[in-house]
Structure 1
Amino acid sequence: MVEYKIRSYGGSDYEVVRDLFSHGMSEYVPGVCIHVVMRPWVLFVITCMFLSLLFSSKSLILPVLAITLTLALGRHFLGYCWRLYIDHCLKEDLQDIQKTYMEDQSSHFWVAEVEDNVVGTVAAKPSDENQEELQLKRMSVRKDFRGLGIAKAFSREVIGFARQRGYRAVVLNTLMVQREAQRMYESVGFRKYTEYVLPTVYGNLVNFTISKYRYDILPEK
């Protein structure tokens, strides 16, 4: 069994933390592509394109090549859009982790370490919607160290931090492709209390759903 320890973020962790976040988020690109392709209107367009080319060319090769090229271009475009989102996050709160999370007692950033190597991250800061709630953010565990309980330990660390600071709840957002993460949060005690489609043209087109979870902090008896 691999042993790990959770500790507070330090300045020397900066690059590896950003790399962990980037690689972790990049893993969702295939799932996002499948989600988009399975939208009814996308399947309808692909089917119409295939049948139109099949009947006009009277050849199976042309429509198959056309659909393959279309899907490849679509994947490239979605990957580009996802990369823009990752870059936005890196330029937002992850641009100056020390200032964003470590200079105020109401927020914090932790890393998981195995044999002096950082293999996971999680952060917490007051929710923008309700200052009595703490938002769990930037949870990421390196792929080859998953299944060891690190994510659950991170969740409990944040919950303990929230309880010590007097917050009423811990809240977080997940995307529709983060099903494994959703199951993990639910196993810790989080419950989904609402979900919504990203309020943009793109969000509505592909049904880009965000689920919000919360863990209520019960007052100590």
Structure 2
Amino acid sequence: MKYAKPLPSYLVQRYQGWKATIFSENKAWYRRLADEGQRPRAFIISCCDSRVHVTSIFGADQGEFFIHRNIANLVPPFTDDSDHHGTSAAVEYAVSALKVAHIVVLGHSNCGGVQGCYDMCSGHAPELEEKSSFVGRWMDILRPGYERVLDVPEEQRKDALEKEAVLVSLENLMTFPFVREAVEKGDLTLHGLWTDIGEGDLHQYDPETKSFKLV
């Protein structure tokens, strides 16, 4: 593959530093993970945004979380069409193969994907309406959430839509038969979180008050 190039030197240096320190000091743990396989207790669905660092937020070690990242931390609804559904495949593997006990959907402030959905649905991003737009068609998943924030004061809609991205994903998770079955059996719990990048605050969804509360 002629287009693949060697890593930039700064990444090579960082890797070598990690191998010489963190890996070297925990070699037995890494070998155990390799030999025994992964047994993560939680499956985290978060945004691709480089500012959202799930393992740092929760101080997680290798092998603790099964993580899937996509634009705006969205989960599509279940469909019988199984062609090229990366997020759905991750959900299936986490629940059916790894038997995780928790699924966490983590949204965040200043989400570019959610902003794109807001602009598209409000008629300010016609390029995202094109059938050829991968981002636009992905953000169609969030259209129901956009409809639900139209009654929110305009200055608060973007923040509300970021939280709707979490709720829409939780709702869609329950359309997967194997997720619903695990939840109803008590083998799996779903959690909705939203983090403020600038403040470091973490909010969790409370179904009783139907609102996000500071953790």
**TM bucket, shorter chain:** under 0.3
The structure that has the greater radius of gyration is 1
Higher strand share: 1
Please give the TM-score of this superposition, normalised by the length of structure 2. 0.27
Please give the TM-score of this superposition, normalised by the length of structure 1. 0.27
